[in-house]
Structure 1
Amino acid sequence: MTRSKLVLLLTIALLVLVFLAADGHKLLTLANLQSQQAAIAQWIDHNLLLAVSGYALIYVLVTALSLPGAAIMTLAGGAFFGNVYGLIAVSLASTVGASLAFLVARFLLRDTLRSRYSDVVAKMDRGIEKDGAFYLATLRLVPVFPFFLINLAMGLSGMKMRTYALVSWVAMLPGTFVYVNAGTQLGQIESTADILSGDLLFAFVLLGLFPLLAKFLVGFAQRRKAYAGWQKPARFDYNLIVIGGGSAGLVSAYIAAAVKAKVALVEKHRMGGDCLNTGCVPSKAFIRSARAADTLRHAREYGLESVPVTPAFSQIMARVKQVIARVEPHDSPERYRGLGVDCLAGEAKFVSPWEVEVAHSDGRAERLTARSIVIATGGKPAMPPIPGLDQMQPLTSDNLWDLQAQPERLLVLGGGPIGCELAHAFARLGSRVTQLETGDRLLPREDADVAERVLTQFRKDGVDVRFGHAATSFAEENGEKVVYCEHQGEQVRLVFDQVLVAVGRAANTEGLHLEHIGIEPLANGALPVNDDMSLRYPHIFACGDVAGPYQFTHAAAHQAWYAAVNGLFGQFKRFKVDYRVMPWVTFTTPEVARVGLSEAEARSKNVAYEVTRYDLGDLDRALTESDGGGFIKVLTPPGKDRILGAAVVGCHAGEILGEFTLVMKHNLGLNKILGTIHPYPTWNEAAKYAAGEWKRAHAPGWLLARLQQFHRWRLGTGSQERNNP
């Protein structure tokens, strides 16, 4: 705790002690106020200005310090100053006092709360920002809620001070008036319970519901405004129309069909989207071939004769196509039609918020209506505006799979997951790979030690990684393709045969005619989704790469559940998307898998943490396979086993990560992993050993010392003499 916080805390404590020592809690009682009413009233008649000022100051202190007696002070305002002046004095003093209590709680506790529970605080702040004023007004209007608790709780939130003061002042006026008015009849009151009759309390409860009703009315007005100028159809062709047949679209359609909704799925190209046709499936098949080549090249490590590997590149690409063909039935129109989905081959564009026009691949055009619409049009490789790049016929993760001849010299732009996966695979297949990264390390979203482990393997396998190199122009010179880069103020010239661009992905929104219905993409091209995955209109949703912020197949499927369920049942209940536990894997060698916070993210969010590490080189299964390079790193709060984040670097990292993801999702902790039987010898034993490292570091030393003494005592005196000749 800082010195200023300590001084403030001690000052508050001193004031409270003085209040109690002076029997202030006994002075601020109804009986005492009634007995002293005449004498105090007479003094006020001769010292009105001083009385009002002193009264206001005392009220502010009582409220700011959360002392008992605010109700009596309010009655006194009516008794001594009347309805008008009493109401003004009390309303202003109570607002100032409440605001001071709010600020004190924020100053003393919010930083600590934010550092220890950053995710909880962030979620709370988002809710407060959106609906906080309505809920604060509700709490203030209903006198059954202790106001001092409201002051402290709101101080820990992210509510703006001016919002808090204004809403508190307005919402407390009705209750303040009732108490001030009661104070004018002080002699007729036997207890404070007489002030609020059952009927009056019920009226306050109804009044307290007004902000929530107002929230509903505001939302209704916003919806009316959004739909202004559009005529909602009297009937609909479908309950749900899904635009896009990739991961997000397929899951949305599947869910709708599973609950017997009438659903149409419109796909203009190939079902399965990027994941099946150009992303996850082909890239992992390609990486497997590269890993096989590396195994053959290093067979001596397994007691076999190493052999030179000459990749038959066209056969490798043929195998990639075969793998796609084997997976394709899972995402085929035939399968989804069997599930009850109307699969339409064509391109859709919006005509109205409820209506899309589908240009079928056979030339037909038809208009379809739906109660809800899901946009799941995916993404595409981003192409940086570098002069001459488009003349190089650049490869991307989309068109790479049509390549039939292996490039001898491959230039890779980008050090992110896609660039790293493909750069390493081509290098293992024999290409001379140069990888350019404008930053200072690979995989910039991961910690430096994780990226360093990958870089070590890349350089061992011959990848020429160039950091701080920004491509400035491309050209063809003397029959060769060249790139000019800027590096530390100097120009660098590199020669290559083909260039692979992997600098990120952009959302697919072209042709949807979104501007016609007033939906504008964000600066990064993604659609501006709300917490329930809806867009400007509550019945139009977006999910997957077109929505962001994660561009993973599993993230798209996760979002699709919210889009489909909210689209079908949102008029009854809406669910907010939950990103608390989002794992991902980069399929380099070694694999990199992570869930939750990295060390860099924890530091940037001021989250206190400690690190537990386990070296995979100590795992028996890794030793049997001669593949022990890597480690597990787990972040936990100091002294606690709750997992803040976990990173696994090494063989089968993606599979090992699953256990940490499950534990995080269900708030179980490392002790639960340690108490779970893991079969031997398996890679997942590594999770148990990592948990064991945490347990060993947190073993109670004092207890172990006492146990050692106990066991020595149990051996007997003679044994001690033999051990200590």
Structure 2
Amino acid sequence: MKNKSITRIIVILVVAALAVIFFAFDLGQYLTLEQLKARQQDLTTGYQAHKGAAIAIYMAIYIVTTALSLPGATILTLAGAVIFGLWVGLVVVSFASTIGATLAFLVSRFLLRDYVQQRFGSRLAAVNEGVRKDGAFYLFTLRLVPIFPFFMINLAMGLTPIRTGLYYLVSQIGMLPGTFVYVNAGTQLAKIDSLQGILSPGLLFSFALLGIFPLIARKTVEIIRARKVLGKYPKPDRFDYNLIVIGAGAAGLVTAYIAAAVKAKVALIEKHRMGGDCLNTGCVPSKALIRSAKMLSYAARAKEFGFKSARVTFDFAEVMERVQRVIQKVEPHDSVERYTRLGVEVIRGKARITSPWTVEVSGKILTTRSMVIATGARPFVPPIPGLDQVRYLTSDNVWELRRLPGRLAVLGGGPIGSELTQAFARLGSAVTQVEMAPRIMGREDPEISDIVRRRFEAEGVRVLTGHRAKAVITEGDQKILVCAHEGGEVRVPFDEILVAVGRAPNTHGFGLEELGVEIGARGTIETNALLQTGFPNIYCAGDVAGPYQFTHTASHQAWYAAVNALFGTFRRFRADYRVIPWATYTDPEVARVGLNETEAREKGVPYEVTTYGIDDLDRAIADSEDHGLVRVLTRPGTDRILGVTIVGAHASDIIAEYVAAMKHSIGLNKILGTIHIYPTLAEANKAAAGEWKRAHAPEKVLRWVKKYHAWRRKEKSSPTLREDKLSSHKG
């Protein structure tokens, strides 16, 4: 160990000394295009006189430069072409660059790998495993398509477990096409004797080749990768469909709709109900229930609206039947009949992917050129001891209730848990909300979470944050949730318990495991920016792909998945997540787009905050909804919007203006200059922009303007003006 430390110190000193010499003596001045052209004749003459020595000296310089990651490798490559010509230059440069790269790789490995792996080993575990499994292919891709500078690849790969011999071999082969392009360009530069030479066909071709080489290389890598993963599966001679979509939720429906609209032959496979969770157990039923519950809240607030009292009698079963009627009314939008009319072949049954080209449904094999997996997600049920011994509710089966729970325990303080907590409390249940985190709605700023919590508590909800569900027990006919809190236990008796702690993607049971499609750490299917899995003709969209679990995001992803799956040969699009809005439909609603203060601080993004209190807004006062706020984050010194949070009535509708503004780079000045109808809640957006404008008023200019107005008040009237006034008076 001691000898290794001494050797490491020696290597560091040698590398540092050589780097100091390079920069101290400004050796980089000799590695420029001007110097190369100026000394072209001397270099070629020297090579002709002493070929062996010239090659040895050149290779030594190239190897040292590359090994030390010094600037100049590109000029040295061009110089090799100028001195040795195309083919000799190609061989010399190829070996010199690979030897130098391998030495840089070894220096990085010797000096840094142990330290980096010891300190960050747990974070690098996935990277190390990937390199062990496919390191050669990763390296070949990086060499063939120079996304990163080669010196960075040398240093980074030295930190991984890839074998040195394999590194050298792959680098030698992978860099050869690029080396040829650069050396060929160098041979053309050697022929320039005048400005007219710049327009020579040979040089123009060389630079054109230099420009298109990355595109050709990238396409080559894609073909190699596709053959690698698809090669072992027989490709059908013909296909039944251009696209098969698995799952008829939001993502699947939009994908199929787009495919049919562009006249592709598309099949949509669904084993359960059309419309998926959003229609049947999520967005639609929850909003219907929230609306009914809000009617009761208005009755409870009767005095605010000038009534002495108001009393509403209702049957909970009828409220839940209304929820079903709402679903039935929306259902035709997502029905088999509608999609069949649109040109989609809807197949009812359980799909199983048997190869990248084939899907089995009810014993029948369907062939397809591409497919989109849109299987959605399901409620996640944590392994709480005793929970499986009682009937528990989730967002899937809570809609089956026809008797209002007297005491309802809700596990989870996220959007689903919070929305249903308030709805059931307004309907008359005694609700206890349990959240293990320090606050409910943890994705929002603490002040925002606190506003919602205070409203919940004012409406009779018992909110237990910092409480971890430990067990569910039964004592006689009493069901009890036992929670751990600050070293002790808190017991929560309940009649029904609702589990709303998140959703798990549906990735099992339809062939992904057998096919080898990669599942990420969060349980979602691993995709690239094109929403493409490891199989180039299999795409994903919606909850099963992540990273967001919103219906509108699923629809957004569906466009990219459909277009890339159908037209990716000609044009492909990267999914755009720059402006993703969402809302939690509590009362008050909480809507957000972009960053909030918590996220901006975590990411180190500088920002300014502008806050407008909705209690100042005329329409909100008239509606007795004068509570909440609009909070806008902007780039310091500019009106560029980084993020917006709105808390208040109809926040999910009001925020649409900010979503459009962020999408199209519209700042607060233009929102301020836009006419808003009076009186509306949307005026809150203009008011917030006005707050920003006042905070950024040009104070120095305004002081001069104030003096100007004071001077104008003291200015005497002109004689002509006085005469006109006297004449007018006499007349």
Pair 1:511 & 2:503 matched: no
Where 1:545 maps in the other structure, the secondary structure is coil
C-alpha distance in structure 1 between counterparts of 2:521 and 2:81, whole Å = 56
Within 5 Å, which residues of 2 pair with 1:207-356?
209-356=212-359
Judge which range, 255-264 or 612-621, deviates more.
255-264
Within 5 Å, which residues of 2 pair with 1:672-683?
672-683=670-681
Percent of aligned pairs with the same amino acid: 49
| Distance change >3 Å, CA 196–CA 704, structure 1 → 2 | same
For residues 80-114 of structure 1, give each alpha carbon's deviation from its aligned partner in whole angstroms, at most 9, with x where no partner exists.
xx999997999799999x99xxxxxxxxxxxxxxx
Shift of 1:522: 3.0
Unpaired runs of at least 5, structure 1: 1-14, 42-47, 100-129, 141-149, 360-364, 720-725
Are the counterparts in 2 of residues 137 and 208 from structure 1 also a CA contact under 8 Å?
no
Where 1:544 maps in the other structure, the secondary structure is coil
Where 2:410 maps in the other structure, the secondary structure is strand
Shift of 1:234: 1.8
Shift of 1:74: 8.6
2:474 matched residue in structure 1: 476
Where 2:655 maps in the other structure, the secondary structure is helix
| Distance change >3 Å, CA 31–CA 250, structure 1 → 2 | closer
Equivalent in 678, 689, 692 of residue 691 of structure 1 = 689
C-alpha distance in structure 1 between counterparts of 2:482 and 2:687, whole Å = 49
Are the counterparts in 1 of residues 141 and 221 from structure 2 also a CA contact under 8 Å?
no
Are the counterparts in 2 of residues 281 and 323 from structure 1 also a CA contact under 8 Å?
yes
C-alpha distance in structure 2 between counterparts of 1:514 and 1:669, whole Å = 45
For residues 407-431 of structure 1, give each alpha carbon's deviation from its aligned partner in whole angstroms, at most 9, with x where no partner exists.
1111000000000000011111121
Are the counterparts in 1 of residues 244 and 368 from structure 2 also a CA contact under 8 Å?
yes
| Distance change >3 Å, CA 455–CA 566, structure 1 → 2 | same
2:570 matched residue in structure 1: 572
Pair 1:397 & 2:395 matched: yes
Equivalent in 494, 497, 508 of residue 495 of structure 2 = 497
Letter in 1 for 2:255: S
2:545 matched residue in structure 1: 547
C-alpha distance in structure 1 between counterparts of 2:143 and 2:701, whole Å = 49
| Distance change >3 Å, CA 398–CA 85, structure 1 → 2 | closer
Unpaired runs of at least 5, structure 2: 1-21, 48-53, 106-136, 159-167, 718-731
Are the counterparts in 2 of residues 591 and 649 from structure 1 also a CA contact under 8 Å?
yes
Shift of 1:72: 11
| Distance change >3 Å, CA 244–CA 442, structure 1 → 2 | same
C-alpha distance in structure 2 between counterparts of 1:255 and 1:27, whole Å = 52
Where 1:579 maps in the other structure, the secondary structure is coil
For residues 543-580 of structure 1, give each alpha carbon's deviation from its aligned partner in whole angstroms, at most 9, with x where no partner exists.
11122111111111111111222222222222111111
Where 1:226 maps in the other structure, the secondary structure is helix
Letter in 1 for 2:243: L
C-alpha distance in structure 2 between counterparts of 1:377 and 1:180, whole Å = 54
2:608 matched residue in structure 1: 610
| Distance change >3 Å, CA 503–CA 70, structure 1 → 2 | same
Shift of 1:261: 1.9
Shift of 1:175: 8.1
1:703 matched residue in structure 2: 701
Letter in 2 for 1:206: L
Shift of 1:162: 4.9
Letter in 2 for 1:296: A
| Distance change >3 Å, CA 544–CA 258, structure 1 → 2 | same
Shift of 1:366: 2.6
TM-score, reference length from structure 2: 0.77
C-alpha distance in structure 1 between counterparts of 2:517 and 2:219, whole Å = 23
| Distance change >3 Å, CA 257–CA 35, structure 1 → 2 | closer
2:436 matched residue in structure 1: 438
RMSD: 4.6
Are the counterparts in 1 of residues 59 and 93 from structure 2 also a CA contact under 8 Å?
no
Shift of 1:381: 0.5
Are the counterparts in 2 of residues 135 and 211 from structure 1 also a CA contact under 8 Å?
no
1:384 matched residue in structure 2: 382
C-alpha distance in structure 2 between counterparts of 1:85 and 1:514, whole Å = 46
1:357 matched residue in structure 2: 360
| Distance change >3 Å, CA 438–CA 34, structure 1 → 2 | closer
| Distance change >3 Å, CA 27–CA 707, structure 1 → 2 | same
| Distance change >3 Å, CA 267–CA 86, structure 1 → 2 | closer
Where 2:484 maps in the other structure, the secondary structure is strand
Letter in 2 for 1:232: K
C-alpha distance in structure 1 between counterparts of 2:258 and 2:93, whole Å = 58
Letter in 2 for 1:319: R
Letter in 2 for 1:430: G
2:648 matched residue in structure 1: 650
| Distance change >3 Å, CA 530–CA 468, structure 1 → 2 | same
Within 5 Å, which residues of 2 pair with 1:359-374?
359=362, 365-374=363-372
Are the counterparts in 2 of residues 311 and 429 from structure 1 also a CA contact under 8 Å?
no
C-alpha distance in structure 1 between counterparts of 2:61 and 2:227, whole Å = 49
C-alpha distance in structure 2 between counterparts of 1:210 and 1:504, whole Å = 47
| Distance change >3 Å, CA 177–CA 35, structure 1 → 2 | closer
| Distance change >3 Å, CA 602–CA 197, structure 1 → 2 | same
Judge which range, 517-526 or 705-714, deviates more.
517-526
Where 2:350 maps in the other structure, the secondary structure is strand
| Distance change >3 Å, CA 56–CA 492, structure 1 → 2 | same
Shift of 1:226: 1.3
Judge which range, 504-513 or 291-300, deviates more.
504-513
C-alpha distance in structure 1 between counterparts of 2:345 and 2:82, whole Å = 73
Where 2:393 maps in the other structure, the secondary structure is coil
| Distance change >3 Å, CA 714–CA 70, structure 1 → 2 | farther
Shift of 1:686: 0.7
C-alpha distance in structure 2 between counterparts of 1:340 and 1:509, whole Å = 28
Where 2:392 maps in the other structure, the secondary structure is coil
Within 5 Å, which residues of 2 pair with 1:157-172?
161-162=155-156
Judge which range, 644-653 or 525-534, deviates more.
525-534
| Distance change >3 Å, CA 613–CA 707, structure 1 → 2 | same
Shift of 1:77: 8.9
C-alpha distance in structure 1 between counterparts of 2:388 and 2:291, whole Å = 30
For residues 455-475 of structure 1, give each alpha carbon's deviation from its aligned partner in whole angstroms, at most 9, with x where no partner exists.
111111111111111111111
